[in-house]
Chain A
Amino acid sequence: MAIAVLVLARTRNLFSVVVLAGIYSFLMGAVLVALDAVDVAMTEASVGAGVSTVLLLSALALCRSREARPGERPWLPLAVAATTGAMLVYGTLGLPPFSDPDAPIHTHVVPRYLQDGPQEAGVPNIVAAVLASYRGYDTLGETTVVFTAGVGVIVLLRRLRRAKDTA
């Protein structure tokens, strides 16, 4: 994954950028499988590696396939990114150790979901039970976000096309 990211940052050929991003997503999916998050891994593989690669390629067909050189050296953005990254790494130092059973996330509502979920929802996949039942409002919001994003793309691209037709 590190190699993929480094090559991604170096290359100026947008086609290989898209393909490398797909490879990165697949590797990320493999990492998620190793972490036992199969649902997330499936999403990452299908959305990140599959559909978004196709969408980026079809967008690439509309523009030039080489990235333009930036006019100036991006020192300020680099500094901002480095500072934010350093702060995030500093924040992880305060987190409990990985897979610590006493971590706050494992003592709040998770024991209740894991113990009562199978009886209350009657669904073996706890992820589905939490997603669709315990957190049903959140998932309704998420679906609305997907809907809104789709409508946004439709409105934007359709207006562009109409403007071209009249011009």
Chain B
Amino acid sequence: MSNDLILRVVAKILIPFILLFALYVQFHGEYGPGGGFQAGVIAAAAVVLYALIYGLDSARKVAPDWLVETMVAAGVLLYALVGVAGIVFGGNYLDYFVLGTTPVDGQHRGIFWVEVGVGITVSGVMLKVFYMFADRQP
């Protein structure tokens, strides 16, 4: 598949837009449809497409294993730390009202960082599972 000229060119054109769309879904999720989960999957799908067309090794150069494995854990940690931040600023666990100058501002910040955490973990897990499967010899 990797020698097909049409696939290579089309993938090269499409991948930036897929990644941009993932970022849009991630950071615009509070205003339109979407959120961390969907954005994580879309971002992972971009790298999966790259791996399918250009081979697993080139994809590993873009998103190396250590990075993907760190992402798997970092997202959950970020989410949990947002909760701890609520305690530090004098509220309850996962209490966003205390995170900003006004309660609404705090809610915005809390939701934003929580969604970032979800996105990082989901995208890491999807990529890692794909790597593990694609890496095995029959």
Contact = CB atoms under 8 A, between A and B. Distances in A.
Q: Are A and B co-members of a single complex?
A: yes
Contact of B37 (A43, A136, A153): A43
Interface residues of A, number: 47
A136 B84 CA distance: 13
A143 B117 contact: yes
B98 interface: no
Contact of A153 (B42, B45, B118, B128): B128
Contact of B125 (A127, A139, A147, A157): A147
Interface stretch (A12-20, A47-55, A68-76, A77-85): A47-55
Interface residues of B, number: 50
Contacts of B29: 125, 128
Nearest to A156: B132
Given A39-B34, A39-B35, A137 B94 contact: yes
Given A46-B38, A140-B83, A121 B45 contact: no
Nearest to A37: B33
A123 to B, nearest CB: 4
B66 interface: no
B126 interface: yes
Given A129-B111, A133-B111, A147-B72, A124 B130 contact: no
B80 interface: yes
A124 B31 contact: yes
Nearest to A61: B138
A150 B48 contact: no
A123 B108 contact: yes
Contacts of A150: 72, 121, 124-125, 128-129
Given A42-B25, A150-B125, A153-B129, A140 B34 contact: no
A123 B94 CA distance: 17
Contacts of A161: 136
Interface of B: 25, 29-35, 37-38, 41-42, 44-45, 48, 52, 69, 72-73, 75-76, 79-80, 83, 94, 96, 103-105, 107-108, 110-111, 114-115, 117-118, 121-122, 124-126, 128-130, 132-134, 136, 138
Interface of A: 38-39, 41-43, 46-47, 50-51, 54-55, 58-59, 61-63, 119-125, 127-129, 131-133, 136-137, 139-140, 142-144, 146-147, 149-151, 153-154, 157-158, 160-161
